[in-house]
């Protein structure tokens, strides 16, 4: 491979690294509520470039290593972003939109209501109890079966991906939203 071709590929890799860092920043802004829409188009474009680069035949070990590192880093970020987006879709996590925090939900200085519940993949009743407690904290009826199933299935998926059979869940009502956290 002529010297200019190697330099071109290395420059392309460097530019792609900068694009990935920019995309990472945009996703951080989205998850913090600063952006209203996730940067999906940019993510798709970068994913195509990384795929194309991965399947391009590299001649030197240095270029192969650079491509592998770049692809691995992008795939790690990409999987994390897709998981967070999925959690937002099913309602496990909510994105706090800028300026949308409600201040009238609780008196100033009052501690948010909280609960702790133990759930088990071996007990469907524990998930029913969790959902009932979740709805009580939000002061709402239990809603439709679809949203109930989404919340419970998302919680089960988190447990399975974390290799948990039993788990303690800590629920905290804060600013009109229920935060769900696994306790160790």
Report helix angle 124-137 to 145-161, nearest 10.
Answer: 120
Domain count for the chain: 2
49: CB partners within 8 A, 6+ apart: 16, 19
Residues 10 and 86 in one domain: yes
Task: Report the pLDDT value the prediction gives residue 2, as an integer from 0 to 100.
Answer: 46
162 & 123 share domain: yes
Is residue 68 one of the residues assigned to a domain?
A: yes
Output the tens digit of pLDDT for each of the chain's 184 residues: 444 566 788 899 999 999 999 999 999 998 888 888 899 999 999 999 999 998 888 778 888 899 999 999 999 999 999 988 888 877 776 665 655 444 444 444 444 477 888 888 888 888 888 888 888 877 766 666 777 888 888 888 888 877 778 888 888 887 777 788 877 5
Distance CA 63, CA 180 (A): 44
Give the structural domain span for 155: 114-183
Tokens of 139: 């002061």
Reported pTM: 0.51
The verdict on residue 147 lying in a domain is yes
């Amino acid at each position: 491979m002529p010297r200019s071709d190697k330099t071109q590929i290395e420059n392309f890799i460097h530019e792609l690294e900068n694009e990935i860092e920019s995309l990472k920043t945009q996703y951080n802004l989205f998850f913090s509520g600063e952006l209203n829409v996730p940067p999906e188009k940019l993510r798709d474009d970068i994913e195509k470039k990384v795929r194309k680069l991965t399947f391009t035949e590299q001649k030197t070990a240095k270029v192969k290593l650079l491509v592998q590192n770049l692809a691995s880093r992008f795939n790690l970020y990409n999987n994390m972003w897709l998981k967070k987006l999925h959690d937002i879709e099913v309602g496990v996590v909510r994105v706090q939109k800028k300026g949308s925090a409600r201040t009238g939900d609780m008196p100033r200085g009052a501690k948010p209501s909280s609960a702790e519940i133990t759930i088990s993949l071996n007990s469907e009743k524990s998930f029913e109890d969790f959902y009932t407690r979740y709805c009580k904290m939000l002061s709402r009826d239990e809603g439709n079966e679809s949203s109930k199933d989404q919340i419970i299935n998302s919680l089960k998926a988190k447990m399975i991906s974390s290799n948990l059979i039993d788990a303690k869940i800590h629920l905290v009502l804060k600013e009109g939203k229920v935060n769900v956290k696994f306790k160790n």
